[in-house]
Copies of this chain bind each other. A is one copy, B any other.
């Protein structure tokens, strides 16, 4: 795939930064750079209204589908045949200003810059923001892009109830974003998502661009370990059936499985509850989660099996019982090798340092990869901090990422699959 000649467009970095800052004023967390715009909340509506205004001001065709996904296109046919950028503008409860928003506003900037240069493209450009990527208020995460790609029905989406008792359909209606456009949506010609890394690798290695090869497969398991509650003083060690002890050994085992397998395998125990959780009582139960991820499905299955065997052995040793429940299971996603190569080549041509890497987090791009050739670009996150108001990416990195998105999108307009 050759670099298209004559179609290079310089984006306006100042304008992009200004829009990021303006959107970050909505749901701003005082005293921080962060935002709180939970999906389908009033703040989400305000954020949506602002971005839609910008889209309309550019004369784009804006469509809103049945689950609130918004697409703006340079052509009245919308996504059909277009090279599409996109991401999300909802945030976690205490989020940063770049996660998601960067990809949407950079896509908008690519379109504005292209329009203003009068360059003739072979295909339309489009930019999308998908509903409820974070999943903080309503499960699952990546809800909007999952539905767009046909992985979840509109009916199922609209019925989802949040922990606060509200229902997606009613909230969508309330904020005025239950649209008429069909869902699942039209497959675009290609999809590219620019996103902050949300991990420390690029920052640690001082690299400007992450060329994302795919998204790790995710396996979430909840283990309920049921032992025997007993007095901490009067129960000899040999007579204990202590679920905390087994939970601890499982944490140690998960770490050692990930370390021994190496590669992209990671393992995390992020949540653990004891009952009754008192200083002087051997717990009756321990409920914990294990989060396993790998870019390779066979390796992920191997990690799951090893964990399962260790849990069974440890529980038997201690004389406790275990109930295991799958909370989530996604197979790894591989992005389109042609787009991955294209991104890497364009970055290197403009002198940017690059690293091929998997995404450890889930992104809308992995849903779009089900229906069209897809790629992703990462820019560094300071210290890997994300889902936190302290989330930060240097301005130069934001602009470099947006320019690379532009170069990639314009190159993809020249390509036939």
Name the residue on B nearest A381 (C-beta): B234
Distance of A241 from chain B, by nearest CB (Å)? 11
Considering the chains assembled together, what is the distance between the CA atoms of A245 and B249 in angstroms? 10
18 residue pairs bridging A and B, Cβ less than 8 Å apart = A198-B231, A198-B234, A200-B236, A201-B234, A230-B384, A231-B361, A233-B291, A233-B293, A237-B255, A237-B258, A249-B252, A252-B252, A270-B280, A270-B282, A272-B277, A273-B277, A279-B289, A279-B327
6 smallest A-B Cβ distances: which pairs? A199-B234, A233-B360, A248-B251, A234-B360, A232-B268, A248-B248
Q: Which residues of B contact A181 (CB under 8 A)?
A: none
Q: Which residues of B contact A201 (CB under 8 A)?
A: 234, 236
Is A218 in contact with chain B by the CB < 8 A criterion?
Answer: yes
Q: Which residues of B contact A248 (CB under 8 A)?
A: 247-252, 269
Partner of A233, one of B232, B258, B283, B361: B361
Is A2 in contact with chain B by the CB < 8 A criterion?
Answer: no
Considering the chains assembled together, what is the distance between the CA atoms of A235 and B198 in angstroms? 9
Name the residue on B nearest A291 (C-beta): B232
Do A235 and B272 have beta carbons less than 8 Å apart? no
- Which label, helix, strand, loop or mixed, suits the secondary structure of the A interface? mixed
Is A17 in contact with chain B by the CB < 8 A criterion?
Answer: no
Do A280 and B266 have beta carbons less than 8 Å apart? no
Is A387 in contact with chain B by the CB < 8 A criterion?
Answer: yes
Distance of A203 from chain B, by nearest CB (Å)? 10
Considering the chains assembled together, what is the distance between the CA atoms of A91 and B262 in angstroms? 53
Is A160 in contact with chain B by the CB < 8 A criterion?
Answer: no
Is A274 in contact with chain B by the CB < 8 A criterion?
Answer: yes
Do B218 and A233 have beta carbons less than 8 Å apart? yes
Q: Which residues of B contact A271 (CB under 8 A)?
A: 274, 277-279
Distance of A219 from chain B, by nearest CB (Å)? 11
Do A384 and B231 have beta carbons less than 8 Å apart? yes
Distance of A111 from chain B, by nearest CB (Å)? 29
Name the residue on B nearest A245 (C-beta): B255
Q: Which residues of B contact A200 (CB under 8 A)?
A: 230, 234-236, 239
Do B291 and A279 have beta carbons less than 8 Å apart? yes
Is A117 in contact with chain B by the CB < 8 A criterion?
Answer: no
Is A204 in contact with chain B by the CB < 8 A criterion?
Answer: yes
Name the residue on B nearest A222 (C-beta): B279
Q: Which residues of B contact A249 (CB under 8 A)?
A: 248, 252
Q: Which residues of B contact A245 (CB under 8 A)?
A: 251-252, 255, 269
Considering the chains assembled together, what is the distance between the CA atoms of A165 and B230 in angstroms? 29
Q: Which residues of B contact A361 (CB under 8 A)?
A: 231, 233-234
